[in-house]
Chain A
Amino acid sequence: MDFRSQQAANKRKTIALLVGMAILVWLLAYAALTYFGRSTVGIIPIAVGIALISVWGSFYGADKLVITMTGARIIQESDNPKLFNLIQEITIASGLPMPKVAIVVDDAPNAFATGRNPEHALIAFTTGILEVMDRDQLQGVIAHEMAHVANRDTLVSAVAATTAGAIAILSDILTRMMWFGGGRDRNRDSNGNPVALVFSLLILILAPLAAMLLRSAISRKRESLADATAVAFTRNPAGLRSALEVLERDSTVVRQKSNSIAHIWIESPLDAKSASKLFSTHPPIAERIAVLKAMEQLS
Chain B
Amino acid sequence: MKTLIAVGVIALIIIFLVAQYNRLIRLNISVNEAWSQIEVQLKRRADLIPNLVESVKGYAAHEKTTFEAVVAARAKATTASTVADVAAADGMLTQALRGLLAVAEAYPDLKASTNFLSLQDELSTTENKVAFSRQFYNENVRSLNSAVKTIPTNLFAGLAKVSEREFYEVEDPQDRKAPKVTF
Contact = CB atoms under 8 A, between A and B. Distances in A.
Interface residues of B, number: 19
Contacts of B163: none
Nearest to B33: A95
Given A93-B135, A94-B136, A235-B135, A88 B183 contact: no
B136 A95 contact: yes
B135 A135 contact: no
B129 A134 contact: no
Given A135-B180, A135-B181, 12 more contacts: A85-B125, A86-B125, A89-B125, A89-B129, A92-B129, A93-B133, A95-B34, A130-B183, A134-B182, A134-B183, A135-B182, A233-B132
Contacts of B128: 89
B54 to A, nearest CB: 22
B132 A93 contact: yes
A133 interface: yes
A133 B37 CA distance: 29
Contacts of A95: 30, 33-34, 136, 140
A94 B30 CA distance: 12
Given A93-B135, A94-B136, A95-B34, A138 B129 contact: no
A82 interface: yes
Given A82-B183, A134-B183, A135-B183, A88 B129 contact: yes
B176 interface: yes
B121 interface: yes
Contacts of B136: 92-95
Contacts of B180: 135
Interface in A79-100: 82, 85-86, 88-90, 92-95
Interface in A169-210: none
Contact of A92 (B30, B37, B181): B37
A228 B183 CA distance: 24
Interface in B124-143: 125, 128-129, 132-133, 135-136, 140
Nearest to A93: B132
A135 B124 CA distance: 11
Contacts of B135: 93, 235
Contacts, number: 39
B20 interface: no
B41 interface: yes
Interface of A: 82, 85-86, 88-90, 92-95, 130, 133-135, 138, 233, 235
Nearest to B122: A85
Contacts of A85: 125
A133 B132 contact: no
Contact of B183 (A90, A138, A235): A138
A281 to B, nearest CB: 28
B125 A92 contact: no
A92 B133 contact: yes
A135 B180 CA distance: 8
B6 to A, nearest CB: 33
Per CB-CB distance, the 4 closest pairs between chain A and chain B, nearest first, are: A93-B132, A85-B125, A92-B132, A89-B128
Nearest to B41: A92
Contacts of A135: 180-183
Nearest to B135: A93
A130 B183 CA distance: 9
15 contacts: A88-B125, A89-B128, A89-B132, A92-B132, A92-B136, A93-B132, A93-B135, A95-B30, A95-B33, A95-B34, A133-B183, A134-B182, A135-B182, A138-B183, A235-B135
A90 B136 CA distance: 10
A85 B123 CA distance: 11
Contacts of B30: 95
Contacts of A133: 183
B39 to A, nearest CB: 12
A82 B121 contact: yes
A77 to B, nearest CB: 13
B122 to A, nearest CB: 8
Nearest to A88: B129
Nearest to B180: A135
Interface string B14-31: 000000000000000010
A165 B173 CA distance: 52
Interface in B31-53: 33-34, 37, 41
Contacts of B33: 95
